[in-house]
Chain A
Amino acid sequence: MNLNDWIKNNTIHHSQFWDIKKLVEEKQKQNLKISLCLPTLNEEKTIGKEIVMFKSELMDRYPLLDEIAVIDSGSTDTTREIAATFGADVYLSSEILPQYGEKKGKGENLWKAVYELTGDIIVYVDADIKNIHPRFAYGLVAPLIYRPEVHYVKAFYDRPLAFSQGVRPSGGGRVTEILTRPLFSLFFPDLTGLVQPLSGEYAVRREVLEKIPFPIGYGVETSHLIDVYEKWGMEAIAQVDLDQRVHRNQETRDLGKMAFGILRAFLFRAEALGVIGKLPDLSTELKQFQAHDEEFEQVTHTIVEEERPPMIELPEYRKKFGIQ
């Protein structure tokens, strides 16, 4: 596969899918069921709006989505209450598959969604998007409906407010450009074709989701891409330009924690796939500095990037979905 061809053929702008009516007809023809999953932790400012928008536009007006579910990590604000008010199915992550215990992290919610939700396609959308619009869901689902060879569709965002020349720098956020892209360039060059590999919005077929492991924390997106690429190839991946996404900005310190989690998940994947040799025991502690007047002291964050096994290995899952 030539990476330039892949970028040309598998990078799509959402405006190609403006005809939602046609999309719904095609979905019904294929008898597909589509679930929307919104993983949450204290998102009361934005969750209501996301649900109202998706429910009105993609359930009531155009029946593209069959279920809208919030999987919550135990918010202490009114996230669950607001979500229920506007008609989403609300689940507490800890109450899904409780026999497997409770782990904290977004990846945990995404993994549990695979068990709880019933769609043939699950579309994950982060709950902190300020400028929510139906395209965030239909834009990602559409390539899966129109192109059977595509299994995993990733969002990216690119709409400069003003730019005078034809060429402009484009790409992901700070962690993508400083960590993920250099790592992919070194070990999985094909994956550098993704503009924003860490974006939190993607739509995936169930047959893929149930067969891949889920790191429970920051590493879930990176790990998914590597696994899908290894098992199904670049042809199974597509990316959709959803224009602009407005969300809260993270502090550099928090990005440090994120990078640490991603790096751990990446190294484990690379080791498991034999891309790199055997790793020594890796620390779970990230050390950062803070200063008191003239004194510097280290702050230690423990970031355990645990992993959930492929859902298909769970007897409960096989029973629920009738898999032998």
Chain B
Amino acid sequence: MMSTFGSIDEILEKLPSLPVELAGIQETLIANLIMLSEIPAPTFKEAERVKLLLQRMVECGLQNVSTDEAGNGVGIIRGKDPARNILLVAHADSVYSGAADHTLSVLSDDIIGPGVADNSLGMAVLATLPNIIEMLGIQLEANLVLLSTTKGLGRGNLDGLRFFMDNNKLPFEAGICIEGAQLGRLSYTAEGMFRGEIECKIPEVLDWQKAGQNSAIIALNDVINRILEIPIPRRPRTSVVLGAIRGGKSYNVMATHSSLRFEVRSEDSAMVDSIRERIDDIIADAASTHNAGFEFTVVSSRAPGGIDISHPLVKSSRKIMEQLGLQPYIRPSMSEVSELIARGLPAVTIGITEASNLHDLNETISIKPIYTGLAQLIAMLQTIDGGFCNEPE
């Protein structure tokens, strides 16, 4: 396959036949997917999965294969110009505990198993990319830096990626974050966000006079009602999601402990800050009313940001998707791309295939669309490599 192109149109022209060509990588990709996905990798415990990825990279003859203090795995596919670098990121951690059965089932059209879409497939694409590039006979100008990050989800708060970006010395031209699902997604903006946990504790004293009146559940319920009373504007787009609630022990035992996990997001960082202050006030007030101990922890947060819809990286990504018959589904992201953008690196998140039952034990991906997803990735790499994604000087 030709490696240098005069314009993005030349890349687009070759695109429709690319998925068929890429189907030749099926067994290698699925085998990588199975092996990676069957190693449990809950956030903070990704080491074994990253180790296998690095082993695969070494087997493919990649250079600078290494891990860092944060446990991230990285390898470089060398281009012709040592000064140029494109960053590809797939997070290594998953939402499933190590105790879950991580076995995958491979059917003729689908693959089923926990985390297969989020994000074993993304990681398998990184592991297989050297084989794909070799199969297609592509020689890029820029180095491809393949990075699988740890500590991304929940309390991980993208710490792996942050560590890499803080300490890495390579200058990047652009970044692509690879997620297993959904094919057609395109994220290049980030909403402001914070995730919080409110814990409520009530001293364990037996007081028959107050039985039924004082309980960590009642106190937390009051807090929830008051959070829901906070006015949420339609513009800038803002939302409060109450994600999980826990508390109490049994039917007739006074609850001494309860907790709430929630997320606030908004396009405007001032809005996020203002909601956070309101919640602080609510809690202070509820603590005195209910004589309860409240603890409010922000477990992760992001600043809003993004690159413009007219940025050449976004424009060419959309063209590539449309050429492949995909309707780009544009949505803000909270994940790796937000961190890259916040650091001034033009970056997008793309999905590789169609998936269902996300985050259930029977998470399912379709095999056939994978090749369209891969074609999209290859074309985007060629577009960035050809210099067609740079902003005009």
A: which residues have CB within 8 A of B?
44-46, 48-49, 52-53, 55-57, 60-61, 78, 81-82, 85-87, 130-133, 246
Contacts and interface: CB of A to CB of B under 8 A. Distances in A.
Contacts, number: 50
20 contacts: A44-B107, A45-B105, A45-B107, A48-B105, A48-B106, A48-B107, A52-B31, A52-B106, A53-B35, A55-B27, A56-B30, A57-B31, A60-B27, A60-B28, A82-B108, A86-B27, A86-B106, A87-B27, A130-B103, A131-B38
Given A61-B28, A61-B59, A131-B103, A52 B34 contact: yes
Nearest to A83: B108
B57 interface: no
Given A131-B38, A131-B103, A48 B108 contact: yes
Contacts of B27: 52, 55-56, 60, 86-87
A63 to B, nearest CB: 13
Interface in B31-72: 31-32, 34-35, 38, 59
Nearest to B102: A131
A89 to B, nearest CB: 15
Contacts of A52: 26-27, 30-31, 34, 106
A55 B106 CA distance: 14
Contacts of B105: 45-46, 48-49
Nearest to B32: A56
A56 B31 CA distance: 6
B129 interface: no
B146 interface: no
A194 B263 CA distance: 58
A60 B104 CA distance: 21
Contacts of A85: 108
A49 B28 contact: no
Q: For chain B, which range describes its interface: under 10, 10 to 19, 20 to 34, or 35 or more residues?
A: 10 to 19
Interface in B102-117: 103-108
A86 B109 CA distance: 11
A131 B105 CA distance: 10
Contacts of B30: 52, 56
A159 to B, nearest CB: 15
Contacts of B59: 61
Most buried by B among A45, A56, A87: A56
Given A46-B105, A56-B27, 9 more contacts: A49-B105, A52-B30, A56-B28, A57-B31, A85-B108, A86-B27, A130-B103, A131-B38, A132-B34
B48 to A, nearest CB: 14
Contacts of A86: 26-27, 106
B169 to A, nearest CB: 33
- Lowest 4 CB-CB distances: which A-B pairs, in order? A56-B31, A48-B106, A49-B106, A56-B27
Contact of A81 (B32, B38, B106, B108): B108
A45 B362 CA distance: 13
A46 B113 CA distance: 13
A55 B105 CA distance: 16
Contacts of A55: 27, 31
Nearest to B367: A85
Given A56-B28, A60-B28, A130-B103, A49 B108 contact: no
Nearest to B31: A56
B33 to A, nearest CB: 9
B377 to A, nearest CB: 20
A61 B107 CA distance: 22
B93 to A, nearest CB: 21
Contacts of A45: 105, 107
Contacts of B107: 44-45, 48, 78, 82
Interface in B83-140: 103-108
A44 B112 CA distance: 13
B121 to A, nearest CB: 14
Most buried by A among B28, B35, B38, B106: B106
A186 B259 CA distance: 64
Most buried by B among A48, A55, A61, A87: A48
B31 A53 contact: yes
A78 B110 CA distance: 13
Contacts of A44: 107
B288 to A, nearest CB: 48
A183 to B, nearest CB: 34
Nearest to A56: B31
Contacts of A133: 35
A125 to B, nearest CB: 15
Nearest to B105: A45
A10 to B, nearest CB: 29
A239 B36 CA distance: 28
Contacts of A46: 105
Contacts of B103: 130-131, 246
Contacts of B104: 49
Contacts of A132: 34
B128 to A, nearest CB: 10
Most buried by A among B26, B31, B34, B35: B31
A61 to B, nearest CB: 7
A131 B38 CA distance: 8
Contacts of A87: 27
Contacts of B34: 49, 52-53, 132
Interface string B256-295: 0000000000000000000000000000000000000000
Nearest to A82: B108
A2 B35 CA distance: 40
Contacts of A61: 28, 59
